[in-house]
A and B are shown apart, each in its own frame.
Chain A
């Protein structure tokens, strides 16, 4: 079936504006992850969702960042009052099950966010 999709592919915004990034996981995948990759940096875990369980938000860098997953499928990552240091590629991944020990993560192409 189709892979993980993300939209938009590119987003340019002004400092102080809010942005929403969307992720459509692979159909049937119960686990969904958000990461960000800043220029020259490794991937940084942000948040993950597993079914109806409470999400693991331990990677969110500040309270300006939030995410939700509606109906156990599509997820939206929201960044409020964007700052220039938020500029990065935001990657979404999904896996069939997060707790099986065999949960290969499949990544989307990412959203490149540029905050001017």
Chain B
């Protein structure tokens, strides 16, 4: 099983809708979780971090973490065409990997005007 799994998409949502992006992980010892946004041809940009179970909101973005079920999700409310990008889930692994990030392959989001 891969360490971080994401549906590659594309996920298409109409403008103004809620986009829901999901990520599952295999190592129960993972402690820190991140969402990055990557526009085509650009480098990843950190948009959310979450460390404890529950929800964390920042503007139109909400990250949700459930360690018991080993998933983390990102909700984007009032989706805009400018949100069209690939969203990368990243986490830290226990031990030697606790200070470096392991990334999923990303979910491509397309917001349709």
A and B: bona fide binding partners? no
